[in-house]
Structure 1
């Protein structure tokens, strides 16, 4: 019994697992156990055999036969179990158990080696896949057993123990919208005998959100019927890629919506400019249906005018890979002219090959029309500004010149002995003249400020001297009204400040004049204090305080408005234009200062001004102008006079001969250049508008080709702002407007020659008239220019009588030809003569004719001007001939 149990333990110990699981092994072991039990019994019985009876022996023999049968049956079952294991070379013949055991051991060793190799291979590819970040799965189609690798479970947020290897558990986590993809894959394996698959779907993470996976698998074994037995595969987390793809799709959708909402036309053409695609907006812009333009050449449908050349140039740029934006004029299907803004770029295929271009189109027709309208409006406005500037320049000249004569002669007349009534008349003339001059200055200043052309100087000045000058000017007016004029100056203010003393003087005179004007009794006090000092900068406060009528609180807010006065009666009683305070405020602000006002009706007014100044030194003070008095300084000076107008040449000769000047005449710029090549001169007087060669051209040749630095003074009948700058820019040294005063001409010559002590007061000034003054003209200027020289005046009249009939004929011929440039030249030529004779009726006429080429006007208007000129000149010629 003990040996029996030992044998069973040995057999179980060394029996392989594969054989132990075979269906025939269990009966075999039972049979072996029974055999050993019988053997033990036989051993006992053998001992008793000699003691048994025949009956007992027969009974034992019968039992032995039965046990033998059981043994044979056990051996047969063992053989059957061995056959099921598939051991090569084994047959059912033979009952040798040792042989069977040897075959079993050999097969078991072979299978163990194969299993070890398979296990190592599986571990290797699983390691490789998981090392790449992929999760591994292994599915048995027959038993529905499934295996998920550790990495696979980690992708879903689980540990190895938390996620069961259960296909149903796995299926429950697939997104409902993607489950049909997985089911279809299984069906394809079963019914289509598919060898592999690759799908993308969403699976729920442990946190509850879904991740995207790329599921790839393949069949590694099939059943005898060809059905899939085992399928292995991987899962790759592609969530980031899918999110990026969705972002791109979203972005594309966003920009498509933007294009749609912005009404932008999209057009794609190939390398031959054939239209391959156009969106609905482009079709609406062009007026064509899509089927009407697809396959057509874009350039043949749309460009207008120069658009064809532009489009060809852009196509060449696209071939070079250049993108840009441009404007193009096109005609739509209705032949309507349109403006398009096009942003074009080259178009490439997936291989990087140029396949055409793409353009985004915006209809800017309305914008272009608006631009054209704005340009026209701007041109009109600019022309209006130019006209205004020309008018102001002419007005300044035409009004200031006689005003200067009136005021100047009035001052001279005051020095003579006058009767009381005569002095009253003269004072009235002076007051009216001063008032008119203020009005003119105000209008000119406000116009310059509005145009942004009022420029400030930055030179050294002494504030004490400015205050003294203002006090001297205003003191007589204050005394006339019985007012006390007080000035207080802070001694801590620097002796030299940097600024525009002329404009400061203007501001103070304006404010003090108003204070005196609106104060009937009491005083006007000017106080100047140092408000702030920082390094080399001082902020000065000016206070002008009066005891006058004051200003209402309501009007204080409007006191700096243009043309504003508190009451209509104010203008009638006190005079003024209402521009003074507006100009003052603008000037203060141009100087980066601040102005404020304190006033109460009936109690007076105080105006405060703060102005910043840089502190200067004595070197910053301008040099004082020296008076010229010695006529001998000009004696012997050689002057080349380039002037096409004979009367102007005569005027200049007459003036300069009194100073002993030697004059050579040239009728145009070319003659001036030729004369300078032949002889030496000290200075040139150069008219700017001459035939053959004008003054600017002649000056450029003298400076650039002849390399001469001879002083040149420009003579011009125009007084437009900017002319002097242009003349100086080309190398001229001085500038005089015609008709000029004798003193201006002499000082200009003395300045460029750096002479001292020259004055136009030299020489005799005889006042001789050859004919009586008539209303249509005046000989006063000729008397002044010729110093009363009778021969000069008569010669000028003879020239006028000789030239005017010819001039009228030239004007009429030019009018018939509508030769506006010729009319302009004739008008420019005779303008100095009209001005010199003070022909008031023609001063505006001749200037309008001169400007006719720059400012086109109706033919009727030009004819009216020419006829008016003719009529007046004929009357003057007739009167002169009578005398």
Structure 2
């Protein structure tokens, strides 16, 4: 069992201390809330009891007292309702529910609210009855006084007095009394007074039997118990918190003691090692020299004396170069070494030295500066090796030596960073395979190349999965938010998986209910990655049936706009007990899945993490043997773009200025790996761009000082000068605003951020993909074209010319676009008619080339426009897209009254010539095939 080390234990203690602090803060918060509710309910209890007592001391003649008492009752009712509603509303918020709002508290609060409301209603009713009783009694007395003063008979007066006092009497003694209106009013008020008296007694009984006091007592007991529980938790948490802090400081003290012991041991070993190194240096075969910071020799070993022929006392206090260098020593190497010594930098070089007897010999010298503790230059250490025999062999085999130097650089690059080199060869494999695949017509070879591409893509997928998972675990995954149309997500899926599903006999159903004019803002590549991972699983585990993809608009739980993605298959399904862990890393649905289907078990884990980072939700529903359904909801900002404009023949057409990819760019590629440079160059050339290669950052800077470019593609890890340094110099010293695409195998965000901070505009990740390159160019199209128009690129072309047939055959095959597919659609299998079309293309192209050269010499813009328009129409019939783009660009300039650039005309001529040769080859091939058919039939 592996023991937990001090750092891990310290980290665990820090996590525990942090959690304890958070928990303690939550307890304090809960204590505060409990205290608030306890005080509130105590206040409510006092208010209700005081209100009940005040009723009996109420003075109905004091209007102000009535308003105060009514307001007191209303406030008590509102307080009870507020406390109940607040506890109930807090139940919807997770933090309040966790801290204070339990079902028991809500139940007590509701009961208290009902009891308080009932009591308050009874008190208000009793108050009204009391006021009414007082009013009726006063009115009765007034009527009695009036009757006593007006009645003439003594019997009637006695009857009125007794009737007013008791309220219960027989009929009046005289008819005269019955007819008096005051007597009738007196009778009504006495009856009203007696009825109010009865109601008041009943209502007082209800008030004294109300159980709100018991409810408030239970409520207060609940909050008291909560406060007591909080005190206990707080005491335990504080004790644990103090213990954890004490343990942490103890571990830190012990770790410092351990580090002190390690330092002492290292110092001892260092001294021991220095003694060994001194012995080695003295007896080493290589010459070792030590000079001060000015290059004055202070020490040399015996091998130096043997190599140079000088004794140590003859060279001490002198500069070795002044003694050993001579006529054939390279001045450039001497200047480089002198500059490095002045700058306090390391340097390696090969140069000619002279023996004391005058004999020439070659040395390989490595000079390294050393610095003191303050960082000041202290001295130089030089190691010299006799390479005279090797240099003699190199002179005889110069080409082999150059190749060896390239191999050595490649090896050094490989040893420098493994992650970089894992992706670098993969870049070459996939890049060349894509280029070869587009030029192969043989079905069998095409199938073999597809196998190579699929294997490479699978390897890239595995590498990306591991890298993505590493970035997610380290919280280094960042989303790139940009505007995109959802069809850009669906189209690659359709083109990739429809043929795969057809080969496996599966039916791929895509239901896209998202409007075509909807624009989303989010990380399009990551959304595409989520769908690819899930559909890849669906294809892997589905043997027959169908796979259905559903996309539609939705609202998330938080009422945010977004999309719902559903991937449903009729595959083998997943057992219910495995569903809970299906999104865990390295977990698959069955233990035999890896053996039977392969995979790392990271795909679904990455999907889950990506969805979480986007703030979305993923769920899975599966029945074993019937299939699986994954449902994803991702919040995305949306907007509606204007519909596309339709032309006269009703074909959709967007704004050319907005969608057309820039063409005929001059591109500088800084890349030390020849395969990667070739792949990047051929990608660019296939798109109609001109490419210059620089093997490192320094060469790229030298080229930029002489020439201007529309775009720079900069690798990172290169000898002599890396890409980040070169980018900084381009921005800060050369002051160039040229768009720079960093093309690197570094996949972590820090490396990308460093490149962006240095001045790069965009990051392309190896292996380089043609579509991602096109997306990057389109994304920075405006800036590229603005920079392009601000300078006139330097060129060696001074006049238009045609190439000889031998020269044309040396041009890249990828320049030719002519194929037979468009003609087969028009002419069918009639070879003669096809040959007539090809002959027409050749003749028209020959005439156009001659006419363009003549028109350009005469600066005849109208004729240039006319012939470029004719070439565009002809090329469109043959689906020669690059030829169409080149001719369209020239026609556009001519329409604006500008003379097209010489480079653009020459490029169009070159394209016409290679396609003329392609048309000739197609005619020859078909003629040969036809002749072969005749011989067979014969």
TM-score under structure 1 length normalisation: 0.35
Higher strand share: 1
Higher relative contact order (CA 8 A, sep 6+): 2
Higher helix share: 2
TM-score under structure 2 length normalisation: 0.33
User: Which of these two proteins has the greater Rg computed from alpha carbons?
Assistant: 1
